[in-house]
Amino acid sequence: MTSRTLTARRSLAVPADTAALRILNTAARLSDEERALVRRLCIFQEVINAGEAFTSEGRTVTPRLILSGWACRQRILADGQRQIFGFLLPGDGVGLGTDARPLDEASTVALTRVECVDAVMLREILALQDPRHDRLRRALATARRYEETCLLNHVVRLGRQSALARLAHLLLELRDRLQRAGLCSIDRMHLPLTQEALADALGLSLVHVSRTLSQMKRNRLIAMQNGWLTILDESYLRSACDYDADYPVLH
Amino acid sequence: MTSRTLTARRSLAVPADTAALRILNTAARLSDEERALVRRLCIFQEVINAGEAFTSEGRTVTPRLILSGWACRQRILADGQRQIFGFLLPGDGVGLGTDARPLDEASTVALTRVECVDAVMLREILALQDPRHDRLRRALATARRYEETCLLNHVVRLGRQSALARLAHLLLELRDRLQRAGLCSIDRMHLPLTQEALADALGLSLVHVSRTLSQMKRNRLIAMQNGWLTILDESYLRSACDYDADYPVLH
DNA sequence: CGTGACGTTGATATGATTCAACTTGAGTGG
DNA sequence: CCACTCAAGTTGAATCATATCAACGTCACG
């Protein structure tokens, strides 16, 4: 039915698991043992093609760590409209956490080809409450909290910001997240989102996203060429959208 | 500094603790022992006056169960605008849950006079993992999940619905929540929200909320008189906003 | 009797949507 | 290699939904 592929390859994916490790390590400094655990998990990689859902038939999301590619959580409304709740980037986890959360149950869909790792085993190992994995558990809790923070930011964008501010705020947030995963420099990032995806996330029409992006380019706030975004005037963008990087404090 | 009052009265508040118990019991049928535990907590009641925040000086929210009155979680933006993330009704809990969540950290403010119960002890008791309190823990987890579902619904309202649909959807959701707490009939509820609060929740201007409510009254969809809302045409409202009551399944 | 919070209403402005035409680039098959 | 198609993006014109500004009404309260 699905064209999902399950490959059992040795983790030649040296760069692939880096993003996940970097994010987790940023959230709470991991021990060597914990790093090794995460690396060992990367033996079983899966590929989900663009447009495919993350859910197995059984409804609940399989726990996964994303190694490369972008996905989103979304809901399709009765009239066919789509609302995107948030994006999943390399290094992000899905369906980890002991209890099933509605956000995880919202259908998760790959926006590009996504390489990921089955994390069922990770979830089970962490559920054992072994103190040697304390930092890893803490890191995942931090990541989960940050996810909720992003959802609140999303509400603010939708409720109280103009089209330009919404875009600026989202782009800066994505840049920060990629940077934390070690996947982009300060002003340049790969942005594989269609304008339609941006529109469905930001509660705007596709056409207006196009116009607003054009305007941002015209005013030399950003530049875009074949899927790459350059942030030209970060300080202006920040002030235009009241952006405040609020990654949870390490502890 | 604060005019918060700490009263130690015997739980003559027989009706007061009912809402909390009803909600929890809906989420997972409680044992007699668990019901007694919750009732015993109601000895120490607090009052928070309209406009006051729930946070103690120490930043983190004190765990509480709301017995009566309405509150909201909100963020004030740099330009003074307010975005409300959600409402807290009688029977709802705040800051329960073992880990501090960003939603709980968002400033929680009383919209009316709120009577509540300090639940620090409850949280500590539940952290002991005593199997006799399993159902109570499950009930709180369900409540927490429902809260996240409401937040996702809120995103959909803000992102993809018209002013009328936003209002209809929110009102139906509030009605369902109050009904679950045993606090309103099918078509009539106490609604102590100002139009400004509705506007700040729904991402609309105060003026437009007023207009849209007037329109709903004119078209005999709802009626309002001094803080009481009557739902006149529920089926129309439901279809107008694609409302789907999605309270988490009991298990 | 004033004062302030809340709500209503009209006139006008504006940001965003819709519809539709057109461009560009990548992929496909003859 | 060319013609075709399709997805993604761009642009203009008309329209619509909502915001803004401002005046006014009502009620509770000191």
Task: Kindly list the residues from chain A whose CB atom is less than 8 angstroms away from the CB atom of residue B28.
Answer: none
* Cβ of residue A202 closer than 8 Å to a chain B Cβ: yes
Instruction: Determine which of A76, A129, A148, A155 to mutate to test the interface with B (most B C-beta atoms within 10 Å).
Output: A155
What's the rounded mean pLDDT across residues A177-193?
93
CA–CA dist A245, A250 (Å, integer): 14
Residue pair B181/B22 in contact by the 8 Å Cβ criterion: yes
Phi/psi at B68 (5° precision)? -150, 155
- The strand pair at B114-118 and B64-68 is best described as antiparallel
Q: How far is the CA of A206 from the C1' of D9 (A)?
A: 10
CA–CA dist A171, A184 (Å, integer): 13
Which of A106, A156, A201 is the closest to B75 by Cβ?
Answer: A156
CA–CA dist B5, A76 (Å, integer): 47
Task: Kindly list the residues from chain B whose CB atom is less than 8 angstroms away from the CB atom of residue A155.
Answer: 83, 85, 151, 154-155, 158
**Minimal Cα distance from B200: which residue of A?**
A159
Which of A77, A103, A159 is the closest to B148 by Cβ?
Answer: A103
What's the rounded mean pLDDT across residues A206-231?
96
Closest-CA distance of chain B to residue A45, Å = 30
Please tell me the pTM assigned to this model. Answer: 0.92
pLDDT of residue A41: 85
Both tokens assigned to B43: 């000895």
Q: How far is the CA of A207 from the C1' of C16 (A)?
A: 9
CA–CA dist A162, A40 (Å, integer): 45
C-alpha angle A22-A27-A33 in degrees, rounded to nearest 5:
65
pLDDT of residue A9: 40
What's the rounded mean pLDDT across residues B200-229?
96
* Cβ of residue B203 closer than 8 Å to a chain A Cβ: yes
What's the rounded mean pLDDT across residues B211-216?
98
pLDDT of residue B172: 97
Radius of gyration of chain B (CA): 18
A34 three-state secondary structure: helix
* Cβ of residue B53 closer than 8 Å to a chain A Cβ: no
Q: Do B102 and A149 touch (CB under 8 A)?
A: yes
Task: Kindly list the residues from chain A whose CB atom is less than 8 angstroms away from the CB atom of residue B106.
Answer: 152
Q: How far is the CA of A207 from the C1' of C19 (A)?
A: 11
* Cβ of residue A77 closer than 8 Å to a chain B Cβ: yes
Residue A240 scores a pLDDT above 70: yes
- Model confidence at B5, pLDDT cuts 50, 70, 90, reads very low
Residue A188 scores a pLDDT above 60: yes
**Closest nucleotide to B193 by C1' from CA:** C6
Q: How far is the CA of B96 from the C1' of C18 (A)?
A: 47
* Cβ of residue A76 closer than 8 Å to a chain B Cβ: no
pLDDT of residue B248: 65
Return the domain boundaries, chain A. Answer: 5-152, 163-241
CA–CA dist B161, B202 (Å, integer): 10
Neighbours of A244 (CB within 10 A): 11
Whose CA is nearest the C1' atom of nucleotide C8? B210
Reduce the secondary structure of A151-198 to three states and give it as a string. Answer: HHHHHHHHHHCCHHHHHHHHHHHHHHHHHHCCCCCCCEEECCCCHHHH
pLDDT of residue A161: 98
The 10s digit of each residue's pLDDT in A135-165 is 999 999 999 999 999 999 999 999 999 999 9
pLDDT of residue B19: 85
Residue A249 scores a pLDDT above 60: no
Task: Kindly list the residues from chain B whose CB atom is less than 8 angstroms away from the CB atom of residue A240.
Answer: none
Neighbours of A248 (CB within 10 A): 17
pLDDT of residue B17: 67
Q: How far is the CA of B157 from the C1' of D7 (A)?
A: 29
Q: Is the CB of B211 under 7 A from strand C?
A: yes
Residue pair B66/B114 in contact by the 8 Å Cβ criterion: yes
Closest-CA distance of chain B to residue A129, Å = 14
The percentage of residues in chain A with a pLDDT greater than 70, rounded to a whole number, is: 90
**Closest nucleotide to B197 by C1' from CA:** C6
C-alpha angle B135-B37-A127 in degrees, rounded to nearest 5:
40
A19 three-state secondary structure: helix
C-alpha angle A63-A68-A69 in degrees, rounded to nearest 5:
95
Phi/psi at B47 (5° precision)? -120, 130
pLDDT of residue A13: 39
Phi/psi at B15 (5° precision)? -75, -25
Both tokens assigned to B151: 């937040």
- Class of domain A5-152 as given by CATH: mainly beta
| CB-proximal positions of chain C, under 7 Å | 5-11, 15-20, 26
Residue pair B64/B88 in contact by the 8 Å Cβ criterion: no
Distances (CA, A) of B150 to B88, B109, B146: 11, 18, 6
Residues comprising chain A, all counted:
251
Whose CA is nearest the C1' atom of nucleotide C5? B194
* Cβ of residue A38 closer than 8 Å to a chain B Cβ: no
pLDDT of residue A10: 38
The 10s digit of each residue's pLDDT in A42-77 is 888 899 999 999 876 556 778 999 999 999 999 999
The percentage of residues in chain A with a pLDDT greater than 90, rounded to a whole number, is: 69
Residue pair B195/B213 in contact by the 8 Å Cβ criterion: yes
Residue A15 scores a pLDDT above 80: no
The 10s digit of each residue's pLDDT in A76-113 is 999 999 999 999 999 999 998 878 888 887 799 999 99
**Closest nucleotide to A211 by C1' from CA:** D10
pLDDT of residue A24: 87
Residue A120 scores a pLDDT above 80: yes
Residue pair A83/B156 in contact by the 8 Å Cβ criterion: yes
Whose CA is nearest the C1' atom of nucleotide C17? A205
Q: What is the mean pLDDT of chain A?
A: 88
Q: Which of 3.30.70.1350, 3.40.50.1110, 3.20.20.70, 1.10.10.10 is the CATH number of B163-241?
A: 1.10.10.10
Give DSSP secondary structure letters for B16-56: TTHHHHHHHHHHSPPPHHHHHHHHHHTTEEEEE-TT-BSB-
| CB-proximal positions of chain D, under 7 Å | 7-13, 17-22
